[in-house]
Amino acid sequence: MASQRLQIAVAGAGIGGLAAAAGLAQAGHRVVLFDRFKTPAPLGAGLVIQPVGQAVLSRLGAFEAAVGGANRIWRLLGHSAEAGRRVLDVTYDAPGAPRFGMALHRSVLFDSLLVCAQEAGAVLMPGHEVASAMYGWVEMRDGRREGPFDLIVDACGAGSPLSALRARPLGYGALWGTVRWPEDTDLERGELRQVYRHASRMIGVLPLGRQGAVTTTPRRDDSKTAAIFWSLRNDEYARWSEAGVAAWQDEASALWPGFAPFADQITAPEQMVMARYSHGTLRQPHGRGIVHIGDAAHRASPQLGQGANMALLDAWALVCALRDAAGDMDHAIRLLSAARRRHVAAYQWISRVLTPLYQSDSPALPKLRDRVLFPISQIPAAQELLTRLVCGDLLPPLRHLE
């Protein structure tokens, strides 16, 4: 039971919001979770939860359910489409060893966290689109007001109306789709595979586990699936859609024949959803009585696969900060800031530097990537650093808060 039982509003029932709601309710606080969706449903593609995010899921009691619906990946492997040679190769540990990437549908993660939050007593209020927050009150788009709360947690993700963050849109985004794992593929289920043409095209296959219970598109065989992605300049999307799926499949197969059994399952452009990326970090991810977590506080392209992990870490840091501050809200916010500032800054900076190597119009950067950075990355000390970068613990993610 919390030393002081606080009334807490969490705006946004995505990854960070659900994790915060679960942890805060488990700590004994009264938590109300507002989301604009009408019925609980996750949006978006599959993703990878790295070891640091898995540790948060364990603490919340969500790990077993999540890993049960996930696929374990041990290696990130990228090839150049032109030369056919390896240009990215990062391993976690050997298969069977402790560290791995948990590749799963958002719906599986969503379900696992939602169960934890609700079992702990958090109350979910769907159909509540938050418009603003002031003096402990939350105002909805339709004028309803809820409160007062001792603390408001902004977990509304990218585009949060509560956050002052104005992120810089990136030129490239990606089309994402979900398909069955084909029988006629020789790709390994333990590897995230990517193929690049310069930096202007990235094709990927992320092997996933099952589709979750809340999915809106249930499939016949949904135990082994894959997320596929195809990078695209934002201004190319209309042309891609008009050209039709067959033209895309031809182009994709020419660049990477191994992609064909995945791409062939797409029959209409609408099965591929365009995700646009942006980059930015809130200087001060808190205000009077409000904290911003996850994408509401920092946004990056998913190149490093850290956004969901960052949201989970922010949520857990908040739970620990409130526990350690014993009711002193200003102190709790200072603890939270101190715990996360350096980790967030480091990952945001690295993401900003690395993204153009994989998604940009630059002719020079992919050469630097393939001819200089890749050979360096194969030196054992560099391999160890890259593994830690991907795992999420290049720097201590929570510093003294655990």
Return the range that interacts with ligand FAD (CB under 6 A); candidates 5-13, 61-69, 81-89, 352-360: 5-13
Q: Does 195 bind ligand FAD (CB under 6 A)?
A: no
CB of 28 or CB of 126, closer to ligand FAD: 126
Q: Which amino acid is at 279?
A: H
**Helices marked H in 166-295 — which ranges?**
237-243, 245-255, 260-263
Instruction: Tell whether the torsion through CA atoms of 395, 397, 401 and 402 is positive or negative.
Output: negative
Q: What is the token pair recorded at 30?
A: 């009264």
CB of 27 or CB of 70, closer to ligand FAD: 70
| DSSP H/E element including 331 | helix 329-358
With beta carbons less than 8 A apart as the criterion, state whether 361 and 64 touch.
no
With beta carbons less than 8 A apart as the criterion, state whether 354 and 363 touch.
no
Q: Does 269 bind ligand FAD (CB under 6 A)?
A: no
Q: Which 3 state secondary structure label does DSSP give 2?
A: coil
Q: Does 316 bind ligand FAD (CB under 6 A)?
A: no
CB of 17 or CB of 366, closer to ligand FAD: 17
Q: Does 230 bind ligand FAD (CB under 6 A)?
A: no
Please list every residue from 318 through 377 that binds ligand FAD, using CB under 6 A.
none
Shortest Å, Cβ 372 to ligand FAD: 26
d(CA 163, CA 291): 9
Shortest Å, Cβ 371 to ligand FAD: 27
**Alpha carbon distances (Å) from 146 to 36, 121, 138, 327:** 14, 18, 5, 22
Q: Does 44 bind ligand FAD (CB under 6 A)?
A: yes
Q: Which of 17, 177, 207, 397 binds ligand FAD (CB under 6 A)?
A: 17
Instruction: Tell whether the torsion through CA atoms of 174, 178, 184 and 186 is positive or negative.
Output: positive
CB of 140 or CB of 320, closer to ligand FAD: 140
Q: What is the token pair recorded at 205?
A: 């296959």
Return the range that interacts with ligand FAD (CB under 6 A); candidates 145-153, 155-163, 260-268, 359-367: 155-163
Q: Which 3 state secondary structure label does DSSP give 337?
A: helix
Return the range that interacts with ligand FAD (CB under 6 A); candidates 64-72, 283-291, 300-308, 345-353: 300-308
Shortest Å, Cβ 326 to ligand FAD: 27
d(CA 181, CA 48): 17
Q: Which residues bind ligand FAD (CB under 6 A)?
A: 11-17, 34-37, 44-45, 47-48, 129-130, 155-157, 161, 176, 275, 294-296, 302, 305-309, 311
